[in-house]
Structure 1
Amino acid sequence: MAVRFSNHEVKLVLEDKTRLKKFLADLFKRENQGLSGLQYVFCTDEYLLQVNQEFLDHDTYTDIITFELSPDPEITEGEIYVSVERVEENATNFNVSFNHELHRVIFHGALHLCGFGDKTEEEEELMRKKEDEYLALYFA
């Protein structure tokens, strides 16, 4: 199992990558979801808009896009694209640190791959609860 982080046209230095990788692997275990590989790509708004248009036919800016690549629903092989600019803006709007918001989005993507949605009000409420749970565990 490998969790990888890369940057596309942005400079982002993640603190304690080794700890974060282990935590993400543990998140998948806690949610009873297998994990064979996970790639996070930190990028610009424009790049993520291009991905959104090309692959999802959405013409909107977003903070995160998650792709499940595995044909086996029991084992995740995923790619998660994160707009660093959206994370910065969200952190300001929600009055939290960039680091806190970045980790919320990182966990949000992982939770999507574990089967959690955010399309309905009930799904969104559960997603926020799970994000808060993992943020509390990570920053404890």
Structure 2
Amino acid sequence: MNEPTLQIFNESSVSIPLDQASARKIISLIEEQEEVTFAFVEVVYVDEDEIVLINMDHLDRDYVTDIISFKYDESPEGNSGIEGTLFCCAPRISEQAEEFGETTENEFRRILIHGLLHLIGYDDQTAEDKKRMTELEDKYLSQFQENK
């Protein structure tokens, strides 16, 4: 299996505690267990103002959020060659880590996992969907930590 192209950009004022190797490991875990393949994943860390602009422009929502996922290919059999961009609000993720009593590293990992799950088709619009995504985030975060 070819390794996906992974690009990480930090356009925020926050130091990002997630390196390429860790991100690749997370991608591999999800590919293996969800039986999907990623071809291209771009992760862009931005500040609050930028995430609000993206949220307004694309989702008509005027608030700060931790992540917005864009999948390029919307084909129904989209389990191979998945491509997408994850816009992550670095300051918000850092705040959430503190709010949840989580390490900053783990919260950044969780948000990456969350975005990747969105790219493969998971949703969090209902309480049941949100619960399922949280369970998967916990599972992959735990597996990542066991195999570090």
Q: TM-score, normalised by structure 1?
A: 0.91
Residues 82-121 of structure 1 correspond to what in structure 2 (within 5 A)? 82-121=88-127
1:36-56 CA distance string (max 9 Å, x none): 100000110111111111111
Which has the higher relative contact order, 1 or 2, with Cα contacts under 8 A spaced 6 or more apart?
A: 2
> 1:60-85 deviations in whole A, cap 9, x for unaligned?
11000000012432331100011011
Change (3 A) 1:127 1:15: closer
Q: Does 1:41 align with 2:44?
A: yes
Equivalence for 2:129: 123
| Structure-2 change in CA distance of 1:53 and 1:27 (3 Å) | same
Q: Is the 8 A contact 2:51 2:65 kept in 1?
A: yes
Q: CA deviation at 1:31?
A: 0.8
Give me the identity figure in percent.
Answer: 26
What residue ranges of structure 1 are gaps of 5+ in the alignment?
none
RMSD: 1.5
Tell me the TM-score normalised to structure 2 length: 0.87
Is the 1:8–1:42 Cα contact (8 Å) retained in structure 2?
A: yes
What amino acid maps onto 1:66 in structure 2?
Answer: S
For the Cα contact (< 8 Å) 1:10–1:42, is it kept in 2?
Answer: no
Instruction: Specify the code of the residue in structure 2 equivalent to 1:131.
Output: E
Alpha-carbon distance in 2 for matches of 1:31, 1:41: 24
Unaligned runs of 5+ in 2: none
Hey, what's the Cα distance between the residues in 2 that align with 1:103 and 1:139?
Answer: 10
Q: How many residues align?
A: 140
Q: Is the 8 A contact 1:4 1:38 kept in 2?
A: yes
Alignment of 1:66 onto 2:69: yes
**Distance in 2 between the 1:83 and 1:9 partners?**
8
1:76 equivalenced with 2:79 (yes/no)? no
Answer yes or no: is the 8 Å Cα contact 1:12–1:42 preserved in 2: no
